[in-house]
Amino acid sequence: MNKTINLLLLSILTIALILLSGCIPQEQPTSTGTYKEMIFSPSEDITAKTFRTEEEYINFAKSHIGSTSFGGSYTNALGVVRTDVMMETADSISGGMEKSALSVQEFSETNNQVTGVDEADIIKTDGDYIYTISGNVLYIIKAYPGEEAEIIFTKEFDDSPTSLFINGDTMTVFGNMYNLDFFKDIDFRPSAGMTYFNIYDISDRSNPILEKEYKFEGNYFNARMIDDYVYFVTRSSPQFRTNYPTPIIFEGTEARSMPAKNIYYYNIPYRNPQLATIHAINMKDSGEDINSVAVAVESSQNMYMSQNNIFITYTEIINEYDLMKIIMKELMEPYLTDSDKELIEKIKSTDNDILSQYEKDEKIFRVYETYINYLTEDEQADMQETAEELLKKKLEEYKHLEYTIINKISTDKNKISVESNGKVPGHVINQFSMDEKDNILRIATTISRRWSSIDYSRTESTNNIYTLDKNMNIIGSLEGLAETESIYSTRFIDDRLYMVTFRQVAPFFVIDLSDPTDIKELGKLKIPGFSRYLHPYDDNTIIGIGQDATATGRTKGLKISLFDVEDVQNPTEVAKYVTEERYASSTALYEHKAFLFSKDKDLLVIPAYSYEYSRDGTSKGYNGAFVFKISKDEIILRGLIDHSMGSSNNRYYYAPQVERSLYIENLLYTKSPNLLRINNLEDLSSVKNITLEQKNGNIPIY
């Protein structure tokens, strides 16, 4: 193979390494032995379809076995792998949890994104008791009064629980399941994993009674609770098998498969399809049938839930590699012999359970590649030039090469229905990138920086806000904000969006969404550092937690800011706290449920840790929870609730200990994997320490 063609193939392979994606068909096959070569088309409407029969679903699964899977990530122009991190307008008041009839105390609840939509967590309280998970052990703790606090119940699970909900005298605990003995007993092993979902009567907190036991195919993804209903979401890869062809559900010991008509897919090119399955479960009425609906999405997903709808998103990429492969096939078509044309048709018609769509595509392309060897050097040079010119023209057809696909699923008690679908340019960072108000979805995205290996050009990142109607049609947009930067945090509050972008300095934007068809930038503030999480203090004040940075963008410490947005055209940073330790950090930057705030108590609590060392090698590190006095214009560090004594194997120097914090009346409770500390809020004096022993040593690390 000569130098020119080597360059041509190297160009194609380089694009493949940059963009990491295979060529998958747009319309899904409904019979065996099918093949379609198509690229995601931004101009085409996205429509939902259901499988009419189990056979259609099985063929869908067969056609995608062996598809390229890069964990939902791709490499950007700088060589940095970006993944869509699974990380949702309102104050921090949680809804959906019925207070215990015993409780008369004031207590904090989970820091939820949406009022009335409770989020699953590893710790909950009802004002009298604390319910928490450490490793594979569930604890129920009589929490108040603090001096009398004690563990009254423990349960060791075979598989570590992930999260829980409390609803009055009902508790549900759930997690991923790896019990091989159970799979052996039922003679069934789901390759996509399973989750368990247990419902308990906790009228007697010291003796919970298991009322209902479910097992669902797939790994745990997310969960929300509205009133008495939990919407439990799992993820699994499409499988094909003769017994239980569709996702399986166990209710007790009875197994059943989901109806194929309850599984939805879309006319998009799937690179690594997964099923997001939503189960609606009544916590208070164990006799009510659960309802389950699944949607075929991509591997990287974010989920936001409003009072009425679930929105599941993922990123779709149009890349030069896919386009170049199609162009090369078209250019080489005249050179093919009749026998190789026949071979290609045989590959296309091969049953999908023998060759998947991805495998067919690779085999077909290798046939075309062999013909390049037989071209003269001049022919190869002409072909390379022609291919690059055709690719440039093809790329001009696309305004953007990165889109967020939005799947809207409505919920009403146990009813679940796939409503509509849409798309917007760019990708979202987490659940807080989305918000629904008055049936209008508001969404903030970043279009990634991109490098073209064809003309060696680079486009910079930009940031955008879109509004979509109930049918997921775009009705308003504000594009091109903060070129060269990326969104680090967003918070939708009523008719405004507060947004932080960052590269070297961090613009803090105030965006007006009062007219969803006419989105306007009201004002912005440029300051060093950035906020990873934004939280409302009041109508005109926003708390930001992130990191300080130099003028060149070098981070230099944990930072908490107070932004005054009363003058929307001129927002100001009225107060800040920055740690002296450059490498100090907090899990609250990425996990909003680790953020505890009470305006009435002037209280802000976040996990904090640092592994700084002095020049003589002695540690200056700490690991615990920072407690702040916070007001409208002031942030004062009151102290650290130390959890270093709760660490195991001296690992507290290298990883955060405190996972969550909450309060009951005048007591602060901070939890790490091995320790629950109780301190007096007035002076932070220690009240009591409760040891949480882990039986399997499986300590969650955030």
Distance CA 536, CA 515 (A): 22
Q: What is the mean pLDDT of residues 34-38?
A: 62
Q: Answer for the pair 517, 438: CB distance below 8 angstroms, yes or no.
A: no
Structure tokens at 380: 């190869």
Cβ count near 80 (within 10 Å): 9
pLDDT band at 267 (very low <50, low <70, confident <90, very high): confident
Q: Is the pLDDT of residue 506 over 80?
A: no
Per cent of the chain over pLDDT 70 is: 84
**Phi, psi (deg, nearest 5) at residue 358:** -65, -45
Measure Cα distances from 380 to 14, 320, 387, 401, 548 in Å.
18, 20, 10, 29, 53
Q: What is the mean pLDDT of the chain?
A: 85
Half-sphere exposure of 697 (CA within 13 A, CB side): 3
**Domain definitions of the chain by residue range:** 3-68+320-396, 118-238+273-299, 591-702
Which carries the bigger pLDDT value, residue 85 or residue 307? 307
Distance CA 291, CA 662 (A): 34
Q: Answer for the pair 198, 175: CB distance below 8 angstroms, yes or no.
A: no
Express each pLDDT in 120-144 by its tens digit: 999 999 999 999 999 999 999 999 9
Cβ count near 359 (within 10 Å): 18
Strands 603-610 and 622-631: antiparallel
pLDDT given for residue 456 in this prediction: 60
Q: Answer for the pair 560, 548: CB distance below 8 angstroms, yes or no.
A: no
Nearest to 24 by CA among 307, 190, 266, 254: 266
Residues listed for the chain: 702
pLDDT given for residue 36 in this prediction: 63
Give the pTM.
0.86
Q: What is the DSSP-derived secondary structure letter of residue 683?
A: T
Distance CA 498, CA 535 (A): 10
* Residue 74 neighbours by CB under 8 Å, 6+ apart: 19, 20, 21, 81, 82, 317
Q: Coil, helix or strand for 592?
A: helix
Nearest to 244 by CA among 197, 280, 190: 190
pLDDT given for residue 5 in this prediction: 46
Q: Domain 118-238+273-299 adopts which CATH fold?
A: Methylamine Dehydrogenase; Chain H (2.130.10)
* Residue 186 neighbours by CB under 8 Å, 6+ apart: 255
Q: What is the mean pLDDT of residues 204-215?
A: 96
Nearest to 362 by CA among 37, 72, 57: 37
Q: Is the pLDDT of residue 313 over 50?
A: yes
Q: Is the pLDDT of residue 17 over 50?
A: no
The sign of the CA dihedral 316, 321, 327, 328 is negative
Tell me which residue has tokens 């098998």: 241
Which residues sit opposite 526 in a β-bridge?
A: 507
Q: Answer for the pair 194, 202: CB distance below 8 angstroms, yes or no.
A: no
Instruction: Provide the residue type at 545 as one letter.
Output: I
Express each pLDDT in 179-188 by its tens digit: 777 777 777 7
Beta strands across the sheet bearing 402-412: 302-305, 309-317, 402-412, 415-425
pLDDT given for residue 16 in this prediction: 42
> What one-character-per-residue DSSP string does 300-328 give?
S-EEEE-SSEEEEEEEEE--HHHHHHHHH
Q: Answer for the pair 113, 119: CB distance below 8 angstroms, yes or no.
A: yes
Q: Answer for the pair 96, 116: CB distance below 8 angstroms, yes or no.
A: yes
pLDDT band at 616 (very low <50, low <70, confident <90, very high): low
* Residue 389 neighbours by CB under 8 Å, 6+ apart: none
pLDDT given for residue 74 in this prediction: 28
Express each pLDDT in 164-201 by its tens digit: 999 999 999 999 998 777 777 777 777 778 999 999 99
Cβ count near 626 (within 10 Å): 25
pLDDT given for residue 76 in this prediction: 29
pLDDT band at 3 (very low <50, low <70, confident <90, very high): very low
Q: What is the mean pLDDT of residues 619-635?
A: 92
Is the preceding omega at residue 145 within 30 degrees of 0, hence cis? Answer: yes
Instruction: Provide the residue type at 405 as one letter.
Output: I
pLDDT given for residue 112 in this prediction: 98
pLDDT given for residue 322 in this prediction: 82
pLDDT band at 284 (very low <50, low <70, confident <90, very high): very high
Distance CA 23, CA 319 (A): 10
Q: Is the pLDDT of residue 259 over 70?
A: yes
Half-sphere exposure of 83 (CA within 13 A, CB side): 11
Q: In 127-273, at which residue ranges do the beta strands (DSSP E only) sit?
A: 129-134, 137-142, 150-156, 163-167, 170-177, 194-201, 209-217, 219-226, 229-236, 248-251, 254-257, 263-266
Distance CA 323, CA 475 (A): 30
Express each pLDDT in 388-402 by its tens digit: 899 888 888 888 889
| DSSP run (H or E) holding 371 | helix 357-372
Measure Cα distances from 593 to 110, 283, 513, 596 in Å.
6, 22, 26, 8
Q: Is the pLDDT of residue 220 over 90?
A: yes
Tell me which residue has tokens 């005298």: 169
The lowest-confidence range among 14-28, 57-71, 77-91, 424-438 is 77-91
Q: Is the pLDDT of residue 153 over 90?
A: yes
pLDDT band at 517 (very low <50, low <70, confident <90, very high): very high
pLDDT given for residue 35 in this prediction: 66
Distance CA 229, CA 308 (A): 12
pLDDT given for residue 294 in this prediction: 95
Nearest to 172 by CA among 126, 229, 216, 236: 229
